[in-house]
A and B are shown apart, each in its own frame.
Chain A
Amino acid sequence: MRSLETVELTKAFGGNLVLDKTTVSFQHGKVNALIGPNGSGKTTFFNCVTGLIRPDSGRISYAGADITRRSPHAIARAGLGRTFQLCRVFPRMTVLDNVLAATRPRGVNLLRGAGGRKETDRARGWLTKLGIEHLAHAEARNLSWGQQKLLELAGVLMSEPETVLLDEPAGGVNPALLDRIGALVRDLNAEGRTFVIVEHNMDLVMSISDHIVVFDRGRPIAEGPPSLIRTDERVLGAYLGA
């Protein structure tokens, strides 16, 4: 089953063609990885898919529906959640509020209180799962980089996405935390969540991915399981090296 799919997706910044008629699909219920050299268009691809950047042409579909022109919040509500390459939290809000801010607004009662017991319990549950519950009332800006990465992930998971796009989750985190993130991805995948992960840490990618897509100059040059990608000549030439 196809989860996320693009057809001839194109995006240029000035004269720099970043996505060049990119046609690619990611599998539902799997841990997918998107790898490639710096500047190959991975983050731009995420930005187009999540609606933060309008593609110049092409089509993006998710679970069979065309989401090409939808707003980012509508795409999020359709079930696509994401983290950012440079970790983004709400710095002047508490850790708990950062997670509660990801709860879906329900109904039209604008003055409905934030963080009812059920929502707060769920938010604390994610914080506990990620090991930062003891920081619930700290301002997010006072957390370390690694803790902010975990907080960002907690926020995304709180928004109940079916598919999670992780942009370099291992960037700047220590090995212990890396193992924790890898295990979490695997656990959540076992519960049915689909992942698409942009990552340069090949140990992490090869250990947790079911399916890998390799980008070079805005186009997919190879895709398949880790065992196949490791030995693909084009991938070795463009990215992994000998």
Chain B
Amino acid sequence: MPSVSKRLATGIAIVAFAAVALAFPELAPNPYILSVGIVVLNYAVLSTSWNFVGGFTGYISLGHGALAGLGAYGTGLLVTKGGLPSFVALAAGAAIVAAIAIPIGYAALRVRGASFVIVSIALVLVTLLVFQSWASFTGGSRGLNVPRPFPGMLRPEHHRVFFYLFLALLAIALTVWWLIDRSRFGLGLKAIREDEDKAETLGTPTFAYKLVVFVVSAFFTGLAGGLYALWFGDLDPIFQFSILTGSYMVLMALLGGVRNLFGPLVGALIVGSALEYFKVEFGNTPLHLVATGVLLALVVLFMPDGVLPALGALLRRLSPTTETSIREVTAGEVAAIGGEPQHAQSRNG
């Protein structure tokens, strides 16, 4: 159960982040920095959306880039071909992605572990092929231009509006993640992550649970992709349906901590900023990919639970606590309950 001090620290961190985020457009020295803020927020929404599946169920999808691409193209095509207003197209595009996620999830979620990862990669490759080849509808390799939703607006103002839109979307995604986290549904999802067969034998309909959360995840990923399309205005299938997008989502969530509400956000702040830095400093070299790979290796080796849990553990070590360790149960108490003294050999962990 979270202690009062932990809740207070979390509350202060949320308020501080919200204050900085709300003030960021005014603090940003130029439109470029503001656009970097939007890219980072876009990553944060994408990674949080990925974490509905990855964080709750432990299923590692590298195919969420395809869902973001479908959201972007869905929104773009509904505006350009369907003539829908931009934000109606955004909602409809995300709904279409969620609908497409049902058959995808129905097939993909029947397999676990490495098999699921491979199926998710296949999704990216198939969608890339379709959107590149179907040039008459998608624009193919020439790309797709999506009209701006606010045509007369100057670029700095355009960035400012979209910064707040992405911030609002992030807030909604985080709220839904939090609601699921504290729900019976969330408990079932976490049980799947821990031991799917065991969860099944306790009566949890694991497949239905996984499918529902996959569709929720796809919806938010589609929204993030669609909002990006309205902001950026220029879609190219090679970037929209990239295995890298999904990999970044995984890396950000792992870096921040997949079991933590704010883990993907923290990961996005670090990785998103670092990616932009590398692109500015080293241009079109693959150095940012090398740095990403090194970062992933470091996280897996030294912080397998992510930055936030590592920070939490560090703070716990540094601060005196009145909480009683379970190892401090006396021998008499253990005997009274018919248990046995704990010893390293008998523990799983």
Residues of A within 8 A of B (CB): 50-52, 71-73, 75-77, 81-82, 84, 88-93, 97, 100-105, 110-115, 131-132, 134-135, 137-139, 141-148, 150, 155-156, 159, 172-174, 176-177, 179-180
Residues of B within 8 A of A (CB): 1, 179-180, 182-188, 190-191, 194-195, 197-207, 212, 259, 326, 329, 333, 335-343, 346-349
Contact A141 B348 (CB under 8 A): yes
Can you sample 13 A-B contacts with CB below 8 Å? A72-B201, A73-B200, A77-B203, A88-B197, A97-B187, A105-B203, A111-B179, A131-B336, A131-B339, A143-B326, A144-B341, A144-B346, A172-B346
Residues of B within 8 A of A89 (CB): 195, 198
Contact A105 B339 (CB under 8 A): no
Chain B: interface secondary structure? helix
Residues of B within 8 A of A172 (CB): 346
**Nearest CB of A to B171, in Å:** 17
Contact A142 B326 (CB under 8 A): yes
**Nearest CB of B to A105, in Å:** 6
CB < 8 Å neighbour of A90 from B182, B194, B205, B206: B194
Contact B203 A102 (CB under 8 A): yes
Contact A103 B184 (CB under 8 A): yes
**Nearest CB of A to B170, in Å:** 19
How far apart are the CA atoms of A147 and B341 in the complex, in Å? 10
Q: In the A-B complex, list the 10 residue pairs whose CB atoms are closest, starting with the nearest.
A: A131-B337, A141-B349, A90-B194, A76-B203, A72-B200, A145-B346, A180-B338, A110-B185, A114-B187, A144-B342
Contact A84 B204 (CB under 8 A): no
With A111-B183, A155-B202 already in contact, the answer to whether A144 and B339 are too (CB < 8 A) is yes
How far apart are the CA atoms of A177 and B347 in the complex, in Å? 17
How far apart are the CA atoms of A82 and B329 in the complex, in Å? 29
CB < 8 Å neighbour of B206 from A73, A81, A144: A73
Residues of A within 8 A of B338 (CB): 131, 176-177, 179-180
CB < 8 Å neighbour of B212 from A110, A148, A180: A110
Contact A111 B185 (CB under 8 A): yes
